[in-house]
Amino acid sequence: MKAKTILGGLLMAIAGGATALFAYTRIIEKPEIIVSNDSAMTELHDGRAVLTSYQVPEVQVDLTYAAEKTIHAVVHVRTMSMVVQPENPFLEWWYGDRYRNAPSEREQRGFGSGVIISPDGYIITNNHVIEAAQNIEVKMNDNRVLPAELVGRDPTTDIALLKVEAKNLEYLRYGDSDNLKIGEWVLAVGNPFNFTSTVTAGIVSAKGRNLGILEDQEYRIESFIQTDAALNVGNSGGALVDTKGLLVGITSAIYSPSGAYAGNSFAIPVSIVKKVVDDLRQYGEVQRAIIGIGINELTSEIAEKQNLKEVKGALITKIYDGSAAADAKLRENDVIIKIAGIPVATPSELQEQVAKYRPGDKITVTYVRNGKENTVPVTLKNVAGNTSLVTRDTNTAEVFGATFESLSSNERRPLKIDGGVKITKVEDGLFRDLGLRRGTIITFINGKKVENTADVRNAISSNQRSLKSVEGYTPDGRRFSYSFSN
């Protein structure tokens, strides 16, 4: 009897405790959700715990190997150029002969980074780092300073190739930018401040970015790799490498409202860089292959009309006469979805793929027309509309002791002209006698419009008496016109 009493009391105590606990958790206080570091994250919804996310254990990425492979192959590039001082009537009036007799040119210095790509001293940098430079030198990571020769440059991709006399240099090998994944870790290595190489890390944020910053609006090739690796002034021309220490891009730009790093940096993919560098080494000029089309972004409306499953591809807006596209019977409003079997989601990606080829190369183009997919062979052409390769001699001209080169769109824009050539070098000859200096722009010779260097040779013969008139702009932007009677 005593045992039954004790057992009954115990059961009543347990029941009372359970009732009190239920009342406390359901009525007096809301339930507490406890989450450990490796558990599912939850929140309370209508009295129930609901799964919202899951915490994944952190994976440590080791970037030390890539950094060690890269830092000695990245250099500091220093440039010097002479800039013509603009005329200033006020200073001329104030200082008189002291101002008029002062040097008409001043020294301007610049700097950037470069990447060694061969043991015998070939170095990649950005075109905007060395543009207009008269003297270039390279400071190696071991503090040696070497003079550099400009092998060639390509404004349409912002790539330039330098050469120093050296042997057994540490260099970077090419990686594969086509297979870079969004979210993949990369290192940006530069030498911006004349210290030794500086390393920053980030992930690939996007691919195929078009920023509209390169000078040639018609033939520029922009398909940048976007990262969040910190870049600052002077990093231009540096290396973007993967975790294996392979070169996947050349750092080129930052996107920032203040001019300082703000979380977005951009690199030229090595798929473009390798082709440009190979051309510069072999020919001195880039062999630009084009399909001969105008292209635009694809819209969801057009994708729906073409029965496309995704809004991916490049819309043809124009077919140029005599172009590779015209020969292949492509039409306006066709949507290109593959180049040589590789899918292209944007116009930038199309440009990146075509940039791998040279005039005369045969590729396949896959497009959609009226909802039907087609693939046609295309023989690529050059900007002149044929399949010939160009050499350096066809892009420069030397007449009467002066050497010329065609103007970039950036140089034409302030003057509001659509042609012209610039004097890059003046030696003994008629143009020096006329007082024309380096940087002078010529727009007309003998009344004929000069749009490229070939026009210079065509306008006059080797006989200096054939020169009747010259029109153009002085290096500081003043218009001039000379006429001669022989």
List Cα–Cα distances, 162 to 126, 130, 166, 174, 472, in angstroms: 10, 9, 12, 17, 32
- CA–CA distance, 407 with 455 (Å, rounded to integer): 13
Domain limits for position 446: 395-483
Q: Which helix (H) or strand (E) holds 458?
A: helix 453-459
CB-count burial class (<10 Å; 0-12, 13-18, 19+) for 282: exposed
CATH of residue 438's domain is 2.30.42.10
Co-location of 404 and 478 in the same domain: yes
Domain for residue 408, yes or no?
yes
Domain for residue 388, yes or no?
no
CATH of residue 136's domain is 2.40.10.120
Q: What percent of the chain has pLDDT over 70?
A: 73
Q: Is 72 in the active site?
A: no
Task: Judge whether residue 10 has pLDDT over 70.
Answer: no
Looking at 33, 54, 75, the residue that finishes a domain is: 54
Domain for residue 389, yes or no?
no
Co-location of 275 and 308 in the same domain: no
Residue 60 tokens, joined: 């440590």
Co-location of 220 and 82 in the same domain: yes
Coil, strand, or helix at residue 324?
Answer: helix
CB-count burial class (<10 Å; 0-12, 13-18, 19+) for 207: buried
Q: Confidence class of residue 61 from pLDDT cuts 50, 70 and 90? A: confident
Domain for residue 412, yes or no?
yes
Domain for residue 234, yes or no?
yes
Confidence (pTM) = 0.66
* Given 158, 242, 279, 334, the catalytic residue: 158
Co-location of 244 and 118 in the same domain: yes
- CA–CA distance, 66 with 254 (Å, rounded to integer): 22
Domain for residue 390, yes or no?
no
Domain for residue 385, yes or no?
no
List Cα–Cα distances, 14 to 9, 17, 320, in angstroms: 9, 5, 90
Position of tokens 């183009």? 365
The separation between the first and the last C-alpha atoms of the chain, rounded to the nearest angstrom, is: 144
Task: Judge whether residue 394 has pLDDT over 50.
Answer: no
Co-location of 106 and 222 in the same domain: yes
Domain for residue 384, yes or no?
no
Co-location of 100 and 214 in the same domain: yes
Co-location of 94 and 220 in the same domain: yes
Co-location of 44 and 109 in the same domain: no
Task: Judge whether residue 457 has pLDDT over 60.
Answer: yes
Task: Judge whether residue 408 has pLDDT over 90.
Answer: no
pLDDT in tens, 174-204: 999 888 999 999 999 988 776 678 899 999 9
pLDDT in tens, 231-247: 877 788 999 999 999 99
Nearest to 156 by CA among 450, 385, 382: 382
Q: Is 406 in the active site?
A: no
* Given 76, 113, 128, 323, the catalytic residue: 128
pLDDT in tens, 260-303: 555 688 899 998 999 999 999 888 778 888 898 989 888 898 88
For 124-151, give one letter per residue: b (16+ CB within 10 A) or e: bbbbbbbbebeebbbbbbeeeebebeee
List Cα–Cα distances, 388 to 39, 359, 394, 429, 432, in angstroms: 65, 6, 12, 33, 35
Q: Is 327 in the active site?
A: no
Whether 251 and 228 have beta carbons less than 8 Å apart is answered as no
Co-location of 300 and 280 in the same domain: no
What is the domain count for the chain? Answer: 4
Using a CB cutoff of 8 Å and minimum separation of 24, what contacts does 205-210 make? 205/264, 206/182, 207/180, 207/182, 207/269, 207/349, 208/345, 208/346, 208/348, 208/349, 208/352, 209/266, 209/348, 210/346, 210/347, 210/348
Phi/psi at 133 (nearest 5 deg)? Answer: -70, 135
Co-location of 335 and 248 in the same domain: no
- The per-residue pLDDT for 37 is 44
Co-location of 252 and 170 in the same domain: yes
* Given 236, 265, 323, 348, the catalytic residue: 236
